[in-house]
Structure formats: structure tokens, C-alpha cells
Amino acid sequence: MSKPYVFITRKISEEVLTPLKQIADVQMWNSESEAVPREVLLNEGKKADALLTMLSDSVDEELLENAPNLKVVANLAVGYDNINLEAAAQNEVIVCNTPDVLTETTADLTFGLMLSAARRLTEAHHFVKEGQWKSWSPYLLAGTDVHHKTIGIVGMGSIGTAVARRAKGFGMEILYHNRSRHSVTENELGAVYKSFGELLEGSDFVVCLTPLTEDTKHLFDADAFKRMKSSAIFINVGRGQVVDEEALIYALEHKEIAGAGLDVFYKEPIGADHPLLQFPQVVSLPHIGSASVETRTTMMELCRDNIIAVLEGKKAKTVVGGK
Ligand code: DGY
């Protein structure tokens, strides 16, 4: 009997793949920097029993309806807005993600981005690197404090909770907004539930960690930015499309908010000419929330184990939907 066929849409660790190769023929798109072209992905989908995908791959109706052997899609991310779950269910394909294993790493990045935007770390780095540091002066690259300020977390899932724990260590007041109340965070960290509008009005740092769904698309619109303090810094480590990017640009241009730290963008990747890059008070990162070597390796292992489980007729560990 021939082995099942697994296609991986980006170059990942060969070592991680060893156990998978024992039970399946495995091919991968052999580039670290270039996403798999759509045509290649569609063709591979026609043959594959399993796909290991990236958040940049669109696993849509067209792909899923033309993948007669496909049993599982393991997405190397906690977010799965790139996958049409309804079409997956209709085509009896199991969809898995990588929750929990990236929580602390992504919370570290979120906090780092907040510190960086508040204390102007990237500006300061470029200042030194470009030879501009000629003398010390009291307000040279002076930013704003993070400690003892108010953080407003939109999306109190496990990453939000991990950010709240860090905020507590910095003596911050913690506000949050979420679909449901989070008693653990309220009791243990003193986090206070607020309506979306109250959170925007009361926070020095507004941190977006909510997943992208039909309900959250453009949640941060012109009105949302207007409601924030003019000293507020907006941090987004969720998904770019939760923000109306034109509205964010307008808010920065018109000083409705003081700055931003962005790990995600409306359409990724962005080019060097993207309007958000013109603002010195914006720190921009290339979607690296969970990108530590340890965590990315663990995420790959989880995807691998989920694929092996499904191909062996067992239950995958982290199923988000589909069949
Ligand atoms: C995810 O896993 O969804 C994150 O965005 C990756 O950094």
C-alpha cells in the first residue's frame, strides 16, 4: 500500500519531520523566504492527504473542494482566519492549529513591542547607529512610562492573560474587553472588565489580541481611534484586518493617538513604502509574535503530531474545526 502524501507549504526543520517521514511521503516548498505560489498549493492540494500550512496560505473553498484525499490541515499558527472552516467541514477535512505552545512567547513580544513604542527603542537604536548621538540631553529620545499606567487588553484569551500577568509585574492597572468575562484574570490579577468604548477611553496602552472574525473585522475604526486618549499607544499583535488601517493612519497623522506598535498589517507583507512606516512613533514588525526558535520548533512538532494522529486514524490534539 502506498504511503499517504503530506505537503508542507514552507521550509521547516527536517529534524522535526523524521517521525512523519516514517509513515508518509513528505514534500515541502523549499523556501524560507518565499510563500508557496497559489498554483503550486492548489496542485499539491489535489494530491495531498495532509497539508501543513502557514498563516499566509489561503486554504479556501477552491482548494478544499479540489482536494479529494485531504484529511487534515495543520496550520502553523494559533490563528486560523486563513482557513475556511465551513468548506473544511463540508469536505470532511480536520483543521488543527497551535494554541498554548506560543502563549508566553507571543506575550513577551507584545510586551516588548509596547515597551519599544513607549520608550522609543527602535528610534533610539537608529539614532545611535546613524551617528547622530553627539551629546546627552535631558529630553533626548524621551518617551513615556509603561509602569503604573493603564493597559487595556482587547481579547482576553490565553495570550491576553499572559500579557496581563506581565502588566501586573509592571504595577499597571489592567482593563480588558472580551466576549466573555474572565474570572481568573479578574480575581488573580485585578483586571477590570470594561465595554469596548470604556476601555478605549481609559487606557494608556490599547493592546489588540483578538482573533480576526466577521465580528472583529475593522473593530478598530475611525471612531475607536477618536475615543482613545491622545497620549495612547495602540499595540496590535492580533490580526491586521481587525484594524481599519486608513483610520489608524489618519489617527496618527492628526495626533488622535500618540503612537503604535504593530506586528500585523492589513495585507502582509508590507513594502518599505507603506504609509505606516513614515511615522517615527510607529514600531513595525514582520508578524513575529511567536517567533522564537524554541516556540516555532514546538509549533512544528505539534503540527506534525496532529498530522500523524489523523493519518493513523487517531484524534488530533488541537482541532479547531472541520470534519
Ligand atoms: C499566530 O500564531 O496566529 C500568530 O499570529 C503567529 O505569530
146 and 256: one domain? yes
61 and 197: one domain? no
Q: What is the mean pLDDT of residues 181-192?
A: 96
62 and 134: one domain? no
pLDDT tens digits along 92-115: 999 999 999 999 999 999 999 999
182 and 267: one domain? yes
| pLDDT attached to residue 225 | 99
Please, what is the average pLDDT of the chain? 97
78 and 195: one domain? no
The reply to whether ligand 1 has any atom less than 6 angstroms from the CB of 290 is: yes
Q: Identify whether 268 is a catalytic site residue.
A: yes
68 and 136: one domain? no
Give the pLDDT band (50/70/90) at residue 308. very high
87 and 231: one domain? no
Which comes out higher in pLDDT, residue 211 or 323? 211
116 and 80: one domain? no
> Residue 250: helix, strand or coil by DSSP?
helix
Centroid of ligand 1 to alpha carbon of 133 (angstroms) = 36
Residue 244 structural domain: 103-284
Q: What is the mean pLDDT of residues 223-252?
A: 98
Q: Identify whether 239 is a catalytic site residue.
A: yes
| pLDDT attached to residue 323 | 72
Q: How many domains does the chain have?
A: 2
159 and 218: one domain? yes
- The model's pTM: 0.96
For 196-234, b/e burial (b = at least 16 CB within 10 A) is eeebbebbbbbbbbbebeeebeebbeeebbebbbeebbb
274 and 135: one domain? yes
CATH number of the domain residue 270 falls in: 3.40.50.720
Give the pLDDT band (50/70/90) at residue 321. confident
What's the rounded Cα separation, in Å, for the pair 156 and 127?
A: 36
The reply to whether ligand 1 has any atom less than 6 angstroms from the CB of 12 is: no
pLDDT at residue 148 above 90? yes
Give the pLDDT band (50/70/90) at residue 244. very high
pLDDT at residue 32 above 90? no
| pLDDT attached to residue 251 | 98
In this structure, the residue with its CA closest to atom 2 of ligand 1 is 77
In this structure, the residue with its CA closest to atom 1 of ligand 1 is 77
pLDDT at residue 233 above 90? yes
The reply to whether ligand 1 has any atom less than 6 angstroms from the CB of 78 is: yes
253 and 299: one domain? no
198 and 256: one domain? yes
The reply to whether ligand 1 has any atom less than 6 angstroms from the CB of 289 is: yes
Mutate to test the pocket of ligand 1, among 10, 57, 98, 102 (most ligand atoms within 8 A of CB): 102
**236 CA to centre of own chain:** 8
| pLDDT attached to residue 1 | 75
For the chain, the distance separating the N- and C-terminal CA atoms, rounded to the nearest angstrom, is: 25
What's the rounded Cα separation, in Å, for the pair 119 and 283?
A: 11
